[in-house]
Chains A and B, each alone.
Chain A
Amino acid sequence: MNEARALPCLEPLPDLDREEEPTGAPFFLPGESPRVHNRPKSRPKLEIRNVVKTFASTKGLIRALSNINLTVHEGEFACVLGPSGCGKSTLLHLIAGLELPDHGEIRLYSSRTKKGNNAEKLIIFQEAALFPWLTVLENVLFGLRLQRLGAKESKERAMHFLALVKLENFANCFIHELSGGMKQRVALARALVLDPELLLMDEPFAALDFQTREKLQSELEELWKRTKKTIIFVTHNVEEAITLGDRVILFSGQPGTVKQEYTLPPGRPRQKESPFFAELAVEIKRDFQNPGRELVEQVTG
Protein backbone atom coordinates (compact mmCIF):
# COMPACT_ATOMS: atom_id res chain seq x y z
CA MET A 1 0.00 0.00 0.00
CA ASN A 2 2.79 2.37 0.90
CA GLU A 3 4.69 1.72 -2.26
CA ALA A 4 1.62 1.64 -4.45
CA ARG A 5 1.09 5.34 -4.04
CA ALA A 6 4.83 5.88 -4.05
CA LEU A 7 5.71 9.39 -3.19
CA PRO A 8 8.27 10.81 -5.60
CA CYS A 9 11.77 10.17 -4.36
CA LEU A 10 14.52 12.70 -4.04
CA GLU A 11 15.64 13.55 -7.53
CA PRO A 12 16.84 16.78 -9.01
CA LEU A 13 14.19 18.98 -10.44
CA PRO A 14 14.81 20.49 -13.86
CA ASP A 15 17.20 23.38 -13.60
CA LEU A 16 15.49 26.59 -14.42
CA ASP A 17 18.17 29.16 -13.86
CA ARG A 18 21.52 27.50 -13.81
CA GLU A 19 23.57 30.61 -14.36
CA GLU A 20 22.31 32.31 -11.25
CA GLU A 21 24.40 32.33 -8.09
CA PRO A 22 23.32 29.84 -5.47
CA THR A 23 21.26 31.49 -2.79
CA GLY A 24 22.59 31.81 0.69
CA ALA A 25 26.17 32.60 1.54
CA PRO A 26 28.36 29.65 0.59
CA PHE A 27 29.91 28.29 3.70
CA PHE A 28 33.55 27.32 4.00
CA LEU A 29 35.81 27.00 6.95
CA PRO A 30 38.84 29.21 7.40
CA GLY A 31 41.86 27.57 5.85
CA GLU A 32 39.78 25.40 3.63
CA SER A 33 39.55 26.00 -0.08
CA PRO A 34 36.42 27.91 -0.88
CA ARG A 35 33.83 25.36 -1.71
CA VAL A 36 30.45 26.00 -3.12
CA HIS A 37 28.23 23.05 -2.66
CA ASN A 38 26.80 22.54 -6.04
CA ARG A 39 23.50 20.91 -5.67
CA PRO A 40 20.71 20.61 -8.13
CA LYS A 41 19.06 23.97 -8.07
CA SER A 42 15.36 24.19 -8.00
CA ARG A 43 12.72 26.83 -8.27
CA PRO A 44 11.82 29.00 -5.34
CA LYS A 45 8.89 27.83 -3.26
CA LEU A 46 8.55 30.72 -0.90
CA GLU A 47 9.74 34.25 -1.21
CA ILE A 48 9.78 36.64 1.70
CA ARG A 49 10.47 40.22 0.76
CA ASN A 50 11.10 43.10 3.18
CA VAL A 51 8.79 41.73 5.80
CA VAL A 52 8.30 43.84 8.91
CA LYS A 53 6.14 42.94 11.89
CA THR A 54 5.52 44.99 15.00
CA PHE A 55 3.51 44.04 18.07
CA ALA A 56 1.89 46.25 20.63
CA SER A 57 2.80 45.28 24.16
CA THR A 58 2.54 46.84 27.59
CA LYS A 59 5.98 48.33 27.08
CA GLY A 60 4.93 49.96 23.86
CA LEU A 61 5.56 48.78 20.33
CA ILE A 62 7.93 45.87 19.90
CA ARG A 63 9.46 45.19 16.55
CA ALA A 64 9.46 41.43 16.17
CA LEU A 65 10.80 41.25 12.63
CA SER A 66 12.75 43.85 10.80
CA ASN A 67 13.14 43.68 7.06
CA ILE A 68 13.29 39.94 6.48
CA ASN A 69 14.35 38.70 3.07
CA LEU A 70 14.40 35.00 2.51
CA THR A 71 13.90 32.55 -0.30
CA VAL A 72 13.16 28.91 0.31
CA HIS A 73 13.42 26.50 -2.57
CA GLU A 74 11.25 23.64 -3.63
CA GLY A 75 12.03 20.57 -1.56
CA GLU A 76 14.49 22.40 0.62
CA PHE A 77 14.96 21.75 4.31
CA ALA A 78 15.60 25.22 5.70
CA CYS A 79 16.46 25.62 9.35
CA VAL A 80 15.86 28.96 11.00
CA LEU A 81 18.14 29.20 14.01
CA GLY A 82 18.01 31.87 16.64
CA PRO A 83 17.69 32.68 20.31
CA SER A 84 14.26 32.61 21.92
CA GLY A 85 12.28 35.75 21.32
CA CYS A 86 13.98 36.55 18.04
CA GLY A 87 10.75 36.42 16.08
CA LYS A 88 11.19 32.94 14.58
CA SER A 89 7.72 31.80 15.58
CA THR A 90 6.26 35.09 14.39
CA LEU A 91 7.84 34.47 11.03
CA LEU A 92 6.17 31.06 10.82
CA HIS A 93 2.81 32.52 11.80
CA LEU A 94 3.20 35.11 9.07
CA ILE A 95 4.11 32.48 6.49
CA ALA A 96 1.17 30.35 7.57
CA GLY A 97 -1.13 33.34 7.22
CA LEU A 98 -2.21 33.27 10.86
CA GLU A 99 -1.01 36.85 11.09
CA LEU A 100 -0.37 39.53 8.53
CA PRO A 101 2.88 41.43 8.09
CA ASP A 102 2.86 45.20 8.60
CA HIS A 103 4.93 45.60 5.55
CA GLY A 104 6.44 43.46 2.83
CA GLU A 105 5.36 40.45 0.92
CA ILE A 106 5.24 36.71 1.40
CA ARG A 107 4.64 34.73 -1.74
CA LEU A 108 4.10 31.02 -2.02
CA TYR A 109 4.65 29.43 -5.41
CA SER A 110 2.08 26.70 -5.30
CA SER A 111 2.67 23.70 -7.50
CA ARG A 112 -1.03 23.09 -7.69
CA THR A 113 -3.50 24.86 -9.83
CA LYS A 114 -6.61 23.83 -7.97
CA LYS A 115 -7.91 26.19 -5.38
CA GLY A 116 -10.04 25.57 -2.36
CA ASN A 117 -7.36 23.86 -0.38
CA ASN A 118 -6.82 26.03 2.66
CA ALA A 119 -4.22 23.79 4.17
CA GLU A 120 -1.20 24.66 2.07
CA LYS A 121 1.07 25.88 4.82
CA LEU A 122 0.82 23.74 7.90
CA ILE A 123 2.47 24.42 11.21
CA ILE A 124 3.71 21.79 13.62
CA PHE A 125 3.62 23.55 16.97
CA GLN A 126 6.00 22.93 19.81
CA GLU A 127 3.19 21.56 21.99
CA ALA A 128 1.77 19.42 19.16
CA ALA A 129 -1.64 21.15 19.45
CA LEU A 130 -3.55 17.90 19.06
CA PHE A 131 -7.21 17.99 20.00
CA PRO A 132 -7.76 16.02 23.21
CA TRP A 133 -11.44 15.39 22.49
CA LEU A 134 -10.55 13.35 19.43
CA THR A 135 -8.73 10.06 19.13
CA VAL A 136 -5.40 9.82 17.33
CA LEU A 137 -7.10 8.75 14.12
CA GLU A 138 -9.77 11.45 14.38
CA ASN A 139 -7.05 14.04 14.86
CA VAL A 140 -5.38 12.94 11.65
CA LEU A 141 -8.77 12.91 9.93
CA PHE A 142 -9.59 16.43 11.10
CA GLY A 143 -8.24 18.31 8.11
CA LEU A 144 -9.47 15.74 5.62
CA ARG A 145 -12.99 16.03 6.97
CA LEU A 146 -12.85 19.77 6.44
CA GLN A 147 -12.03 19.09 2.81
CA ARG A 148 -15.06 16.83 2.52
CA LEU A 149 -13.26 13.82 1.22
CA GLY A 150 -15.10 10.51 1.19
CA ALA A 151 -15.12 8.76 4.54
CA LYS A 152 -13.47 5.59 3.33
CA GLU A 153 -10.78 7.32 1.32
CA SER A 154 -10.06 9.71 4.20
CA LYS A 155 -9.63 6.87 6.61
CA GLU A 156 -7.31 4.99 4.30
CA ARG A 157 -5.18 8.06 3.81
CA ALA A 158 -5.10 8.79 7.52
CA MET A 159 -4.10 5.22 8.35
CA HIS A 160 -1.41 5.34 5.68
CA PHE A 161 0.17 8.40 7.24
CA LEU A 162 -0.20 7.01 10.75
CA ALA A 163 1.70 3.97 9.53
CA LEU A 164 4.32 6.30 8.09
CA VAL A 165 4.97 7.70 11.56
CA LYS A 166 4.71 4.17 13.02
CA LEU A 167 1.60 4.82 15.05
CA GLU A 168 -0.98 2.72 13.23
CA ASN A 169 -1.48 0.66 16.39
CA PHE A 170 -2.40 3.75 18.37
CA ALA A 171 -5.16 4.96 16.06
CA ASN A 172 -7.89 4.63 18.67
CA CYS A 173 -5.94 6.00 21.61
CA PHE A 174 -6.71 9.30 23.21
CA ILE A 175 -4.14 12.03 23.03
CA HIS A 176 -3.35 12.06 26.73
CA GLU A 177 -2.35 8.43 26.48
CA LEU A 178 0.58 9.25 24.21
CA SER A 179 4.11 10.31 25.09
CA GLY A 180 5.51 13.64 23.97
CA GLY A 181 7.37 12.10 21.04
CA MET A 182 4.30 10.20 19.90
CA LYS A 183 2.25 13.38 20.02
CA GLN A 184 4.67 15.11 17.69
CA ARG A 185 4.51 12.15 15.33
CA VAL A 186 0.71 12.37 15.28
CA ALA A 187 1.02 16.10 14.59
CA LEU A 188 3.36 15.28 11.72
CA ALA A 189 0.92 12.74 10.31
CA ARG A 190 -1.94 15.19 10.72
CA ALA A 191 -0.05 17.74 8.66
CA LEU A 192 1.38 15.41 6.02
CA VAL A 193 -1.98 13.77 5.35
CA LEU A 194 -3.17 17.09 3.94
CA ASP A 195 -0.27 17.14 1.50
CA PRO A 196 0.82 20.69 2.31
CA GLU A 197 3.02 22.77 0.05
CA LEU A 198 5.02 23.93 3.01
CA LEU A 199 5.65 22.30 6.34
CA LEU A 200 6.42 24.84 9.03
CA MET A 201 7.88 23.39 12.18
CA ASP A 202 8.03 25.58 15.25
CA GLU A 203 10.62 24.03 17.58
CA PRO A 204 8.71 20.76 17.40
CA PHE A 205 11.25 18.72 19.33
CA ALA A 206 12.31 21.32 21.89
CA ALA A 207 10.23 19.85 24.69
CA LEU A 208 11.43 16.28 24.16
CA ASP A 209 14.20 14.40 25.89
CA PHE A 210 17.51 13.89 24.14
CA GLN A 211 17.01 10.34 22.84
CA THR A 212 13.48 10.98 21.60
CA ARG A 213 14.64 14.12 19.88
CA GLU A 214 17.44 12.33 18.01
CA LYS A 215 15.07 9.57 17.00
CA LEU A 216 12.45 11.98 15.73
CA GLN A 217 15.09 13.99 13.88
CA SER A 218 16.14 10.97 11.87
CA GLU A 219 12.52 9.98 11.29
CA LEU A 220 11.76 13.45 10.08
CA GLU A 221 14.75 13.36 7.74
CA GLU A 222 13.47 10.07 6.38
CA LEU A 223 9.95 11.44 5.91
CA TRP A 224 11.31 14.51 4.22
CA LYS A 225 13.26 12.37 1.75
CA ARG A 226 10.20 10.29 0.99
CA THR A 227 7.65 13.06 0.70
CA LYS A 228 9.95 15.73 -0.79
CA LYS A 229 8.20 18.40 1.21
CA THR A 230 9.62 21.87 1.56
CA ILE A 231 10.28 22.33 5.25
CA ILE A 232 11.02 25.42 7.28
CA PHE A 233 12.21 24.24 10.65
CA VAL A 234 12.62 26.70 13.48
CA THR A 235 14.96 25.80 16.33
CA HIS A 236 17.27 27.31 18.89
CA ASN A 237 19.48 24.24 18.91
CA VAL A 238 22.61 24.50 16.72
CA GLU A 239 23.17 20.74 16.51
CA GLU A 240 19.58 20.19 15.47
CA ALA A 241 19.87 22.83 12.76
CA ILE A 242 23.02 21.37 11.22
CA THR A 243 21.72 17.82 11.53
CA LEU A 244 18.58 18.56 9.59
CA GLY A 245 19.01 21.62 7.43
CA ASP A 246 20.15 21.98 3.84
CA ARG A 247 20.65 25.53 4.84
CA VAL A 248 20.84 27.17 8.23
CA ILE A 249 19.52 30.69 8.48
CA LEU A 250 20.80 32.38 11.61
CA PHE A 251 18.52 35.00 13.14
CA SER A 252 19.46 37.63 15.63
CA GLY A 253 16.86 38.93 17.97
CA GLN A 254 15.16 42.17 18.90
CA PRO A 255 14.27 42.93 16.24
CA GLY A 256 14.57 39.67 14.35
CA THR A 257 16.79 39.89 11.32
CA VAL A 258 18.64 37.40 9.16
CA LYS A 259 22.20 37.56 10.38
CA GLN A 260 23.98 34.84 8.49
CA GLU A 261 23.28 31.90 6.22
CA TYR A 262 25.16 28.65 5.98
CA THR A 263 24.70 26.24 3.13
CA LEU A 264 25.47 22.71 4.15
CA PRO A 265 26.85 19.86 2.07
CA PRO A 266 24.14 17.63 0.66
CA GLY A 267 25.33 14.26 2.01
CA ARG A 268 22.89 12.58 4.39
CA PRO A 269 22.61 11.35 7.02
CA ARG A 270 25.00 13.87 8.44
CA GLN A 271 28.23 12.67 10.01
CA LYS A 272 27.81 14.78 13.09
CA GLU A 273 31.02 13.44 14.65
CA SER A 274 33.17 14.53 11.72
CA PRO A 275 35.56 17.44 12.27
CA PHE A 276 33.74 19.40 9.62
CA PHE A 277 30.48 19.46 11.53
CA ALA A 278 32.16 19.91 14.86
CA GLU A 279 33.91 23.01 13.58
CA LEU A 280 30.79 24.21 11.87
CA ALA A 281 28.88 23.92 15.12
CA VAL A 282 31.55 25.91 16.93
CA GLU A 283 31.48 28.52 14.21
CA ILE A 284 27.72 28.89 14.27
CA LYS A 285 27.63 28.98 18.05
CA ARG A 286 30.14 31.82 17.99
CA ASP A 287 28.04 33.75 15.51
CA PHE A 288 24.97 32.88 17.54
CA GLN A 289 26.31 34.48 20.67
CA ASN A 290 28.22 37.40 19.23
CA PRO A 291 26.65 40.61 18.10
CA GLY A 292 28.07 40.37 14.60
CA ARG A 293 30.69 38.53 12.63
CA GLU A 294 32.43 41.64 11.36
CA LEU A 295 32.80 42.89 14.88
CA VAL A 296 34.43 39.65 16.00
CA GLU A 297 36.85 39.77 13.14
CA GLN A 298 37.80 43.30 14.00
CA VAL A 299 38.52 42.39 17.56
CA THR A 300 40.49 39.24 16.85
CA GLY A 301 42.26 40.56 13.73
Chain B
Amino acid sequence: MRFFWGKTAFYLLLLLGWFLLAHSGWWPEYMLPAPEKVFQTLGEGLCSGRYLLAVLISIRRLLLGYLFSLAIGIPLGMLTGKCRWLDETVGSLLLGLQTLPSICWLPLSLLWFGLNEQAILFVVVMGAVLSITVATNSGVKNVAPLYIRAGKNMGAKGVVLFLRIILPAALPSIVIGLKQGWSFAWRSLMAGELLFINLGLGYLLMMGRELNDMAQVIAVMFVVVMLGLFFDRLLFSRLEKAVRRRWGFDHS
Protein backbone atom coordinates (compact mmCIF):
# COMPACT_ATOMS: atom_id res chain seq x y z
CA MET B 1 0.00 0.00 0.00
CA ARG B 2 3.00 2.26 0.63
CA PHE B 3 3.71 2.52 -3.07
CA PHE B 4 0.12 2.80 -4.19
CA TRP B 5 0.29 6.42 -5.32
CA GLY B 6 3.72 5.97 -6.79
CA LYS B 7 2.48 3.00 -8.76
CA THR B 8 -0.63 4.80 -9.96
CA ALA B 9 1.43 7.79 -11.07
CA PHE B 10 3.85 5.50 -12.89
CA TYR B 11 1.13 3.78 -14.90
CA LEU B 12 -0.63 7.07 -15.67
CA LEU B 13 2.63 8.51 -16.95
CA LEU B 14 3.23 5.41 -19.02
CA LEU B 15 -0.23 5.72 -20.51
CA LEU B 16 0.32 9.43 -21.20
CA GLY B 17 3.63 8.73 -22.91
CA TRP B 18 2.00 6.08 -25.04
CA PHE B 19 -0.83 8.45 -25.88
CA LEU B 20 1.54 11.26 -26.93
CA LEU B 21 3.78 8.93 -28.89
CA ALA B 22 0.85 7.38 -30.73
CA HIS B 23 -0.56 10.76 -31.65
CA SER B 24 2.79 12.24 -32.65
CA GLY B 25 2.50 10.55 -36.01
CA TRP B 26 6.00 9.05 -35.95
CA TRP B 27 4.67 5.59 -36.45
CA PRO B 28 1.75 4.43 -38.57
CA GLU B 29 -1.25 3.18 -36.68
CA TYR B 30 -0.70 -0.47 -37.57
CA MET B 31 2.56 -0.27 -35.66
CA LEU B 32 1.53 1.77 -32.65
CA PRO B 33 -2.19 2.24 -32.14
CA ALA B 34 -3.42 4.84 -29.67
CA PRO B 35 -4.36 3.57 -26.22
CA GLU B 36 -8.01 4.58 -26.58
CA LYS B 37 -8.20 2.51 -29.76
CA VAL B 38 -6.83 -0.51 -27.93
CA PHE B 39 -9.30 -0.10 -25.10
CA GLN B 40 -12.11 0.28 -27.57
CA THR B 41 -11.11 -2.95 -29.31
CA LEU B 42 -10.79 -4.65 -25.95
CA GLY B 43 -14.24 -3.48 -24.92
CA GLU B 44 -15.82 -4.61 -28.18
CA GLY B 45 -14.07 -7.95 -28.03
CA LEU B 46 -15.20 -8.59 -24.49
CA CYS B 47 -18.75 -7.47 -25.16
CA SER B 48 -19.15 -9.51 -28.32
CA GLY B 49 -18.07 -12.62 -26.43
CA ARG B 50 -15.30 -13.37 -28.87
CA TYR B 51 -12.59 -12.87 -26.24
CA LEU B 52 -14.57 -14.65 -23.61
CA LEU B 53 -14.90 -17.71 -25.81
CA ALA B 54 -11.19 -17.67 -26.56
CA VAL B 55 -10.39 -17.27 -22.86
CA LEU B 56 -12.62 -20.19 -21.95
CA ILE B 57 -11.10 -22.43 -24.59
CA SER B 58 -7.58 -21.55 -23.53
CA ILE B 59 -8.30 -22.01 -19.86
CA ARG B 60 -9.97 -25.33 -20.48
CA ARG B 61 -6.83 -26.57 -22.27
CA LEU B 62 -4.65 -25.13 -19.53
CA LEU B 63 -6.56 -26.73 -16.67
CA LEU B 64 -6.78 -30.08 -18.39
CA GLY B 65 -3.09 -30.09 -19.21
CA TYR B 66 -2.19 -28.93 -15.72
CA LEU B 67 -4.27 -31.63 -14.08
CA PHE B 68 -2.55 -34.25 -16.21
CA SER B 69 0.79 -32.75 -15.25
CA LEU B 70 -0.05 -32.95 -11.56
CA ALA B 71 -1.24 -36.51 -11.85
CA ILE B 72 1.97 -37.53 -13.59
CA GLY B 73 4.49 -35.13 -12.07
CA ILE B 74 3.87 -35.49 -8.35
CA PRO B 75 3.98 -39.30 -8.20
CA LEU B 76 6.93 -39.36 -10.59
CA GLY B 77 8.81 -36.82 -8.50
CA MET B 78 8.17 -38.82 -5.34
CA LEU B 79 9.27 -42.09 -6.89
CA THR B 80 12.47 -40.65 -8.29
CA GLY B 81 13.06 -38.80 -5.03
CA LYS B 82 12.77 -41.93 -2.92
CA CYS B 83 14.28 -44.52 -5.17
CA ARG B 84 17.96 -44.11 -5.89
CA TRP B 85 18.19 -46.08 -9.11
CA LEU B 86 15.06 -44.50 -10.54
CA ASP B 87 16.58 -41.12 -9.79
CA GLU B 88 19.82 -42.03 -11.52
CA THR B 89 18.00 -43.28 -14.61
CA VAL B 90 14.61 -41.67 -15.10
CA GLY B 91 15.57 -38.64 -13.00
CA SER B 92 18.55 -37.82 -15.15
CA LEU B 93 16.46 -38.15 -18.30
CA LEU B 94 13.87 -35.74 -16.88
CA LEU B 95 16.55 -33.25 -15.92
CA GLY B 96 17.90 -33.41 -19.44
CA LEU B 97 14.48 -32.97 -21.01
CA GLN B 98 13.84 -29.97 -18.80
CA THR B 99 16.29 -27.98 -20.88
CA LEU B 100 14.12 -28.54 -23.94
CA PRO B 101 11.63 -25.68 -24.46
CA SER B 102 8.25 -27.34 -24.43
CA ILE B 103 7.19 -25.87 -27.78
CA CYS B 104 9.84 -28.10 -29.35
CA TRP B 105 7.45 -30.95 -28.65
CA LEU B 106 4.88 -29.51 -31.04
CA PRO B 107 6.15 -31.09 -34.28
CA LEU B 108 6.33 -34.47 -32.59
CA SER B 109 2.95 -33.94 -31.04
CA LEU B 110 1.39 -32.97 -34.38
CA LEU B 111 2.70 -36.10 -36.02
CA TRP B 112 1.55 -38.30 -33.18
CA PHE B 113 -1.85 -36.85 -32.51
CA GLY B 114 -2.68 -34.86 -35.65
CA LEU B 115 -4.19 -31.41 -35.77
CA ASN B 116 -6.40 -31.69 -32.72
CA GLU B 117 -6.81 -30.90 -29.03
CA GLN B 118 -4.62 -33.76 -27.87
CA ALA B 119 -1.66 -32.31 -29.70
CA ILE B 120 -1.86 -29.01 -27.87
CA LEU B 121 -2.62 -30.74 -24.57
CA PHE B 122 0.52 -32.79 -24.99
CA VAL B 123 2.62 -29.65 -25.38
CA VAL B 124 1.07 -28.12 -22.27
CA VAL B 125 1.74 -31.26 -20.27
CA MET B 126 5.33 -31.43 -21.44
CA GLY B 127 5.73 -27.82 -20.36
CA ALA B 128 4.44 -28.28 -16.84
CA VAL B 129 5.16 -31.85 -15.89
CA LEU B 130 8.93 -31.61 -15.79
CA SER B 131 9.17 -28.69 -13.41
CA ILE B 132 6.57 -30.26 -11.14
CA THR B 133 8.48 -33.54 -11.16
CA VAL B 134 11.85 -31.97 -10.54
CA ALA B 135 10.57 -29.79 -7.68
CA THR B 136 8.80 -32.71 -6.03
CA ASN B 137 11.90 -34.82 -6.44
CA SER B 138 14.20 -32.30 -4.82
CA GLY B 139 11.66 -31.55 -2.11
CA VAL B 140 11.44 -35.21 -1.18
CA LYS B 141 15.19 -35.65 -1.33
CA ASN B 142 15.93 -32.62 0.81
CA VAL B 143 13.67 -33.43 3.74
CA ALA B 144 15.74 -32.87 6.87
CA PRO B 145 16.97 -36.28 8.07
CA LEU B 146 16.11 -35.16 11.59
CA TYR B 147 12.38 -35.22 10.79
CA ILE B 148 12.68 -38.69 9.34
CA ARG B 149 14.64 -39.89 12.36
CA ALA B 150 12.11 -38.37 14.74
CA GLY B 151 9.23 -39.94 12.83
CA LYS B 152 10.84 -43.37 12.73
CA ASN B 153 11.65 -43.05 16.39
CA MET B 154 7.94 -42.61 17.14
CA GLY B 155 7.08 -45.65 15.10
CA ALA B 156 6.30 -44.27 11.65
CA LYS B 157 7.51 -46.31 8.72
CA GLY B 158 6.75 -47.12 5.11
CA VAL B 159 3.72 -45.40 3.64
CA VAL B 160 2.84 -43.71 6.94
CA LEU B 161 6.30 -42.20 7.20
CA PHE B 162 5.96 -41.01 3.65
CA LEU B 163 2.52 -39.46 3.97
CA ARG B 164 2.90 -38.05 7.46
CA ILE B 165 6.47 -36.78 7.35
CA ILE B 166 8.20 -36.75 3.99
CA LEU B 167 5.31 -35.31 2.00
CA PRO B 168 4.42 -32.46 4.37
CA ALA B 169 8.09 -31.70 4.93
CA ALA B 170 8.58 -31.46 1.16
CA LEU B 171 5.47 -29.35 0.59
CA PRO B 172 7.13 -25.91 0.47
CA SER B 173 9.35 -27.12 -2.35
CA ILE B 174 6.47 -28.86 -4.10
CA VAL B 175 4.39 -25.68 -4.02
CA ILE B 176 7.19 -23.79 -5.75
CA GLY B 177 7.16 -26.50 -8.42
CA LEU B 178 3.39 -26.19 -8.78
CA LYS B 179 3.68 -22.48 -9.34
CA GLN B 180 6.49 -22.85 -11.83
CA GLY B 181 4.64 -25.66 -13.58
CA TRP B 182 1.59 -23.47 -13.97
CA SER B 183 3.53 -20.67 -15.56
CA PHE B 184 5.28 -23.10 -17.89
CA ALA B 185 1.94 -24.61 -18.85
CA TRP B 186 0.59 -21.15 -19.60
CA ARG B 187 3.59 -20.25 -21.76
CA SER B 188 3.50 -23.54 -23.61
CA LEU B 189 -0.17 -23.14 -24.30
CA MET B 190 0.27 -19.66 -25.75
CA ALA B 191 3.16 -20.80 -27.92
CA GLY B 192 1.18 -23.79 -29.07
CA GLU B 193 -1.90 -21.76 -29.90
CA LEU B 194 0.17 -19.30 -31.88
CA LEU B 195 1.76 -21.94 -34.03
CA PHE B 196 -1.10 -24.31 -34.32
CA ILE B 197 -4.10 -22.14 -34.86
CA ASN B 198 -7.29 -23.48 -33.47
CA LEU B 199 -9.32 -20.97 -31.45
CA GLY B 200 -8.03 -19.84 -28.09
CA LEU B 201 -6.20 -16.66 -27.20
CA GLY B 202 -3.17 -17.44 -29.34
CA TYR B 203 -5.46 -17.69 -32.30
CA LEU B 204 -6.88 -14.24 -31.61
CA LEU B 205 -3.36 -12.88 -31.47
CA MET B 206 -2.51 -14.36 -34.84
CA MET B 207 -5.78 -13.10 -36.27
CA GLY B 208 -4.77 -9.61 -35.21
CA ARG B 209 -1.49 -9.98 -37.02
CA GLU B 210 -3.10 -11.28 -40.20
CA LEU B 211 -5.59 -8.43 -40.29
CA ASN B 212 -2.86 -5.89 -39.54
CA ASP B 213 -4.96 -5.01 -36.51
CA MET B 214 -2.38 -3.97 -33.96
CA ALA B 215 -5.08 -2.77 -31.57
CA GLN B 216 -6.38 -6.33 -31.33
CA VAL B 217 -2.90 -7.73 -30.85
CA ILE B 218 -2.26 -5.43 -27.93
CA ALA B 219 -5.74 -5.94 -26.49
CA VAL B 220 -5.30 -9.72 -26.49
CA MET B 221 -1.84 -9.43 -24.98
CA PHE B 222 -3.44 -7.36 -22.26
CA VAL B 223 -5.98 -10.12 -21.63
CA VAL B 224 -3.19 -12.71 -21.44
CA VAL B 225 -1.30 -10.64 -18.88
CA MET B 226 -4.44 -10.12 -16.81
CA LEU B 227 -5.23 -13.81 -16.78
CA GLY B 228 -1.69 -14.69 -15.77
CA LEU B 229 -1.74 -12.16 -12.94
CA PHE B 230 -5.16 -13.33 -11.86
CA PHE B 231 -4.10 -16.95 -11.40
CA ASP B 232 -0.79 -16.06 -9.85
CA ARG B 233 -2.26 -13.69 -7.28
CA LEU B 234 -5.45 -15.60 -6.64
CA LEU B 235 -4.05 -19.09 -6.41
CA PHE B 236 -0.36 -19.62 -6.29
CA SER B 237 0.88 -16.65 -4.35
CA ARG B 238 -1.71 -17.30 -1.69
CA LEU B 239 -0.91 -20.97 -1.54
CA GLU B 240 2.79 -20.29 -1.29
CA LYS B 241 2.30 -17.64 1.34
CA ALA B 242 0.08 -19.89 3.44
CA VAL B 243 2.60 -22.71 3.31
CA ARG B 244 5.51 -20.40 4.09
CA ARG B 245 3.68 -18.93 7.03
CA ARG B 246 2.72 -22.26 8.44
CA TRP B 247 6.20 -23.70 8.02
CA GLY B 248 7.64 -20.62 9.65
CA PHE B 249 9.82 -19.47 6.76
CA ASP B 250 8.52 -15.90 6.92
CA HIS B 251 9.43 -15.49 10.56
CA SER B 252 12.94 -15.01 11.74
- Report which A residues bind B (CB closer than 8 A): 93, 96, 98, 117-119, 121-123, 125, 127, 129, 131-134, 142-143, 146-147, 174-177, 190, 194
Contact = CB atoms under 8 A, between A and B. Distances in A.
A127 B146 CA distance: 9
A96 B246 contact: no
B123 interface: no
B90 to A, nearest CB: 28
Contact of B154 (A93, A133, A143, A175): A143
B171 interface: yes
25 contacts: A96-B153, A98-B152, A119-B153, A122-B153, A125-B146, A125-B149, A125-B150, A129-B146, A129-B150, A131-B147, A131-B165, A131-B169, A132-B247, A133-B171, A142-B151, A142-B164, A143-B154, A146-B154, A146-B160, A146-B164, A147-B155, A175-B248, A176-B252, A177-B251, A194-B154
B151 to A, nearest CB: 8
A149 B55 CA distance: 51
Nearest to B251: A176
B228 interface: no
B57 to A, nearest CB: 38
Contact of A119 (B155, B247, B252): B155
Contacts of A194: 154
A134 B247 CA distance: 9
Interface in B150-182: 150-157, 160, 164-165, 168-169, 171
Contacts of B252: 176
Nearest to A145: B164
Contacts of A174: 246, 248
A114 B164 CA distance: 25
Interface string B241-252: 000001110011
Interface in B130-157: 146-147, 149-157
A133 B155 contact: no
Nearest to B248: A176
A14 to B, nearest CB: 31
A131 B169 CA distance: 8
A143 B156 CA distance: 8
Contacts of B171: 133
B150 A118 contact: no
A131 B248 contact: no
Given A118-B154, A131-B168, A146-B155, 15 more contacts: A98-B149, A98-B152, A118-B157, A119-B153, A119-B154, A125-B149, A129-B146, A133-B169, A143-B155, A146-B160, A174-B246, A176-B247, A176-B252, A177-B251, A194-B154
Contacts of A117: 155
A134 B156 CA distance: 16
A129 B248 contact: no
Given A174-B246, A176-B248, A129 B149 contact: yes
Interface string B217-252: 000000000000000000000000000001110011
Given A129-B149, A142-B164, A146-B160, A122 B246 contact: no
A142 B252 CA distance: 26
Given A125-B146, A142-B164, A176-B251, A133 B246 contact: yes
A19 B64 CA distance: 78
Nearest to A144: B154
Contacts of B164: 142, 146
Nearest to B150: A129
B251 to A, nearest CB: 5
B156 A123 contact: no
Contacts of B251: 176-177
A285 B164 CA distance: 44
Query: Which of B152, B153, B157, B168 is the most central at the interface, judged by chain A CB atoms within 10 Å of its CB?
Result: B153
Q: Which 5 A-B pairs have the closest CB atoms?
A: A176-B248, A118-B155, A129-B150, A143-B154, A133-B168
Given A142-B164, A146-B160, A129 B147 contact: yes
Given A129-B150, A133-B247, A176-B248, A146 B168 contact: no
Contacts of B156: 146
B150 A123 contact: yes
Nearest to A118: B155
Contacts of A146: 154-156, 160, 164
Contacts of B165: 131
A117 B155 CA distance: 8
Query: Which of B146, B147, B150, B246 is the most central at the interface, judged by chain A CB atoms within 10 Å of its CB?
Result: B150
A190 B146 CA distance: 15
